[in-house]
Chain A
Amino acid sequence: MKRFIFLSTIIYTLLLLGLVSLNGGLIATAIPFALYLLYGFYNAPESPQIRIERKLSSDRAAPGTDVIVTLTVHNDGGSIEELSIEDKLSSNLTLRLGSTRHLFRLPKGSSHALTYTVAGPRGAYNFESVQIEARDGLGLIHHAKTIPTAGQLFVFPDVRRLKSVVIRPRKTRVYAGQIPARAGGSGTDFFGVRDYQPGDSPRAINWHASARHADSLYANEFQQERVADVGIVLDARERANLFHEGHSIFEHSITAAAALSDALIAQGNRVGLLVYGSYLNWTLPAYGKFQRERILHSLARATVGHSSVFEGLEHLSSRMFPPESQIILVSSLTNDDLDIVVQFRARGYQVLVVSPDPIKYEIELLPSAKHVEIASRVVRLERNLLIRKLERAGVQVIEWDVSKPFDQAVGPVLMRPHSQGFVHWRVS
């Protein structure tokens, strides 16, 4: 019940009792209450005219990094004796310092700045509005309002630096890069020998071959190195990521996707990201730092989702990716993913699967028992079989034991040049 209603009830009860019993004392007792109520009404605040500006010390941060939020409250209306404000925080953000609720006096035309510090895990956090309540000095009358004060904080995933990622797609783009283009030209790796052409550098002459043929000169040809199209597919399906008691391996997949996209963009490639979860979130392929930023934003927003439509990978259309490009699937893999991945391979894509090991991850969450051990062995056999089938189809699979950092465990493997297909690395 509102306070002034409670007080009014008391006053009228006393008046009624006094009138009924003709007792002046009862009526007189109502005087201080009426005085209190009148004072409250007299000083009641008018509808507050408040402006609030929000500033974040940084709109992008690393997980667990402190971000200072400053709210500056301006009073464009009359004096407010008690102004309480409350900023709603996302449940995932942790308040490190200060408070999101404040109570203060705000005279006419003045401003008041409030600060608090938050930190949080990876995610995109929206600050939408601030709740304010203006009260008279006795707290009898109040006006509540919601003031929109937009702000956005992106907590990007931890990006592990990889020295390089060696990929061999069938098709490359025209720009120079680091990926062998299966074509002769200028480069560093020996590609073949051809007739010496006028204009070729004398350094390119292959003297051994030329010595065997008296009438002509031969020149060495090197493999052209170009950039390529890379599509990273991040599996965000609930069934592939959620395990015992809601534990999720998804954060590890995010780490892998962030590290891979960072390294591939740094190499000059055109990289796109598809988050495959409750819906398809597609970051179109592009080059450079802006694309790195776009992918990090997309990864910050990515969440595990369930959708009956996207339960399998069959909606992962090959039309989303340029023909014969490189596809990197970051997924813990489920048994029915085999056909789709093999189909990609059959259509000429070079497919690399980086698979955080879900069995090792989950077994550490379970109590050690005989039946758990047997079950894990059975599941391991099934998984090995799945990986074997993928390898036979020419898909490169890298299994990652997530208890080790991605850059240390998988980085050296990604740096090694590997032959096309039939490669399975279990990194542990």
Chain B
Amino acid sequence: MTIIALILSIILSTGSLFYGFHEQSLDAVSRWVLILGIAWLVSQWFKWNWFSSLALFASIVFAAIGLWTGVFFGWMAAGAVFALFAWDMSDFRQRLRFIPHDDDARGMERRHIARLSLLTLLGLVLLSAASLLQFKFTFEWGVFLVIVTLIGLTQLVDWFKKQ
């Protein structure tokens, strides 16, 4: 079950990004997206679990490039969301290795996929709402976001220091 969900999410993620770039005739970028998708699938075959983090980061970079260059928001957002799904599934698959046959592996898989699917769905709904509402980017909103970002970055630096 996990492996099917993982493969599907990789295909959906890279497929969304590929289609978005292809629609805008950015074939050079779409080729790289395709290469990323194939490499991600191959890495799962060879159980290179570290590759998923790299692939998620690359997917975000591609999505950012797409949004910058004016590719349709929906495809880029879907690409990023499914990349997150695939990244999580890859890690979950790694954790599942420790479940012997007598443990409740199927139950854990079912619960995890259901939980993640719900989060993905909610994320997509919020993204759709954001794209439909098209909030106006005011100065106050910008200041608020800067403050939130700075607080978050401070937290991050703090975490890194503790590490």
A8 neighbours in B (Cβ, 8 Å): 152, 155-156, 159
CB distance from A98 to the nearest CB of B (A): 6
CB distance from A39 to the nearest CB of B (A): 6
CB distance from A114 to the nearest CB of B (A): 8
Contacts known (A6-B53, A103-B95); A19 close to B146, Cβ less than 8 A: yes
Count of inter-chain pairs, beta carbons less than 8 A: 131
Contacts known (A5-B160, A10-B60); A32 close to B120, Cβ less than 8 A: yes
The one of A3, A14, A32 in contact with B127, judged by C-beta atoms closer than 8 angstroms, is: A32
Give the complex CA separation of A22 and B115 in angstroms.
Answer: 33
CB distance from B139 to the nearest CB of A (A): 11
Is B80 on the interface with A (CB-CB < 8 A)? yes
The one of A16, A28, A139 in contact with B77, judged by C-beta atoms closer than 8 angstroms, is: A28
How many chain A residues touch B (CB < 8 A): the figure is: 45
Whether B99 and A103, one on each chain, are in contact in the complex, defined by CB atoms closer than 8 angstroms, is yes
CB distance from A390 to the nearest CB of B (A): 57
Is B3 on the interface with A (CB-CB < 8 A)? no
Q: Which of A1-42 contact B (CB under 8 A)?
A: 1-3, 5-6, 8-19, 21-29, 31-33, 35-36, 39
The winner among B57, B99, B149 for most chain A CB atoms within 10 A is: B149
A15 neighbours in B (Cβ, 8 Å): 145, 148-149, 152
Contacts known (A84-B98, A104-B103); A28 close to B149, Cβ less than 8 A: no
The one of B80, B107, B149, B163 in contact with A29, judged by C-beta atoms closer than 8 angstroms, is: B80
Give the complex CA separation of A86 and B97 in angstroms.
Answer: 13
Whether B77 and A104, one on each chain, are in contact in the complex, defined by CB atoms closer than 8 angstroms, is no
CB distance from A48 to the nearest CB of B (A): 17
Whether B120 and A29, one on each chain, are in contact in the complex, defined by CB atoms closer than 8 angstroms, is no
Q: Which of B61-116 contact A (CB under 8 A)?
A: 63-64, 67-68, 73, 76-77, 80-81, 84, 88, 91-92, 95-96, 98-100, 102-104, 107-108, 111-112, 115-116
Give the complex CA separation of A137 and B131 in angstroms.
Answer: 29
B124 closest partner in A (C-beta):
A32
CB distance from B48 to the nearest CB of A (A): 16
Give the complex CA separation of A369 and B147 in angstroms.
Answer: 82
Whether A105 and B108, one on each chain, are in contact in the complex, defined by CB atoms closer than 8 angstroms, is yes
CB distance from B95 to the nearest CB of A (A): 6
Is A102 on the interface with B (CB-CB < 8 A)? yes
Is B12 on the interface with A (CB-CB < 8 A)? no
A2 neighbours in B (Cβ, 8 Å): 159, 163
CB distance from B127 to the nearest CB of A (A): 6
Is A316 on the interface with B (CB-CB < 8 A)? no
Whether A17 and B64, one on each chain, are in contact in the complex, defined by CB atoms closer than 8 angstroms, is yes
The one of A13, A33, A101 in contact with B84, judged by C-beta atoms closer than 8 angstroms, is: A33
CB distance from A38 to the nearest CB of B (A): 10
Give the complex CA separation of A11 and B145 in angstroms.
Answer: 12
A135 closest partner in B (C-beta):
B95
Contacts known (A31-B126, A32-B124); A14 close to B64, Cβ less than 8 A: yes
B134 closest partner in A (C-beta):
A24
Whether B104 and A25, one on each chain, are in contact in the complex, defined by CB atoms closer than 8 angstroms, is no
Size class of the contact patch on chain B: 35 or more
B135 closest partner in A (C-beta):
A24
B120 neighbours in A (Cβ, 8 Å): 32
Give the complex CA separation of A267 and B149 in angstroms.
Answer: 84
Q: Which of A87-124 contact B (CB under 8 A)?
A: 98-99, 101-105
The one of B108, B134, B149, B163 in contact with A104, judged by C-beta atoms closer than 8 angstroms, is: B108
Whether B119 and A39, one on each chain, are in contact in the complex, defined by CB atoms closer than 8 angstroms, is yes
Give the complex CA separation of A36 and B120 in angstroms.
Answer: 8
Whether B149 and A19, one on each chain, are in contact in the complex, defined by CB atoms closer than 8 angstroms, is yes
Give the complex CA separation of A99 and B101 in angstroms.
Answer: 10
Is A138 on the interface with B (CB-CB < 8 A)? yes
Whether B111 and A137, one on each chain, are in contact in the complex, defined by CB atoms closer than 8 angstroms, is yes
The one of B95, B104, B135, B137 in contact with A105, judged by C-beta atoms closer than 8 angstroms, is: B104
CB distance from B133 to the nearest CB of A (A): 10
Give the complex CA separation of A8 and B163 in angstroms.
Answer: 15
A85 closest partner in B (C-beta):
B98
A33 closest partner in B (C-beta):
B84
The one of A11, A102, A137 in contact with B98, judged by C-beta atoms closer than 8 angstroms, is: A102
Is A229 on the interface with B (CB-CB < 8 A)? no
Is B130 on the interface with A (CB-CB < 8 A)? yes
The one of B68, B84, B91, B153 in contact with A21, judged by C-beta atoms closer than 8 angstroms, is: B68
Give the complex CA separation of A86 and B95 in angstroms.
Answer: 13
The winner among A13, A18, A22, A25 for most chain B CB atoms within 10 A is: A25
| Contacts from A to B (Cβ < 8 Å) | 1-3, 5-6, 8-19, 21-29, 31-33, 35-36, 39, 82, 84, 86, 98-99, 101-105, 137-139
| Contacts from B to A (Cβ < 8 Å) | 53, 56-57, 60, 63-64, 67-68, 73, 76-77, 80-81, 84, 88, 91-92, 95-96, 98-100, 102-104, 107-108, 111-112, 115-116, 119-120, 122-124, 126-127, 130-131, 134-135, 137, 142, 145-146, 148-149, 152-153, 155-156, 159-160, 163
8 contacts between A and B (CB under 8 A): A27-B145, A28-B77, A29-B64, A31-B123, A32-B122, A32-B123, A84-B98, A137-B111
Besides A15-B149, A28-B130, 12 more A-B contacts (Cβ < 8 Å) are: A1-B53, A2-B159, A5-B159, A9-B156, A19-B149, A25-B67, A25-B77, A32-B122, A82-B108, A84-B95, A86-B98, A102-B100
Q: Which 10 A-B pairs have the closest CB atoms?
A: A32-B123, A25-B67, A28-B130, A101-B98, A99-B100, A103-B98, A15-B149, A25-B73, A103-B99, A32-B81
